[in-house]
Amino acid sequence: MRESDMAQVLTWQKSSFSGDQEGPNCLELAGSQDALLLRESDEPDTVIAATGAGLAALIRHLCP
């Protein structure tokens, strides 16, 4: 599936920590059958896929 197709199929949710929910600087998260997907609202075609364990490890590393 192409990333542009994922944007139409998936339901993206904005992070509550992104500040201005209407602005372009929001982190968005969606879940697929195989991964958690992340993107910035100002670049919706750039999508990062992670496992739940991988995303949890990243968050622990960034927020000690």
What would the DSSP string read from start to end of 1-64? --HHHHHHHS--EE-TTSS-TTSS--EEEEE-SS-EEEEETTEEEEEEEE-HHHHHHHHHHH--
Q: How many domains does the chain have?
A: 1
Distance CA 4, CA 62 (A): 29
Q: Which amino acid is at 31?
A: G
| Residue span of the structural domain in which 36 resides | 3-62
pLDDT at 60 over 50: yes
More confident residue, 3 or 63: 63
The pLDDT tens digits of the residues spanning 5-18 come to 544 578 888 877 66
The pLDDT tens digits of the residues spanning 2-56 come to 555 544 578 888 877 666 556 666 889 999 888 999 998 888 899 999 999 998 9
pLDDT at 33 (0 to 100): 84
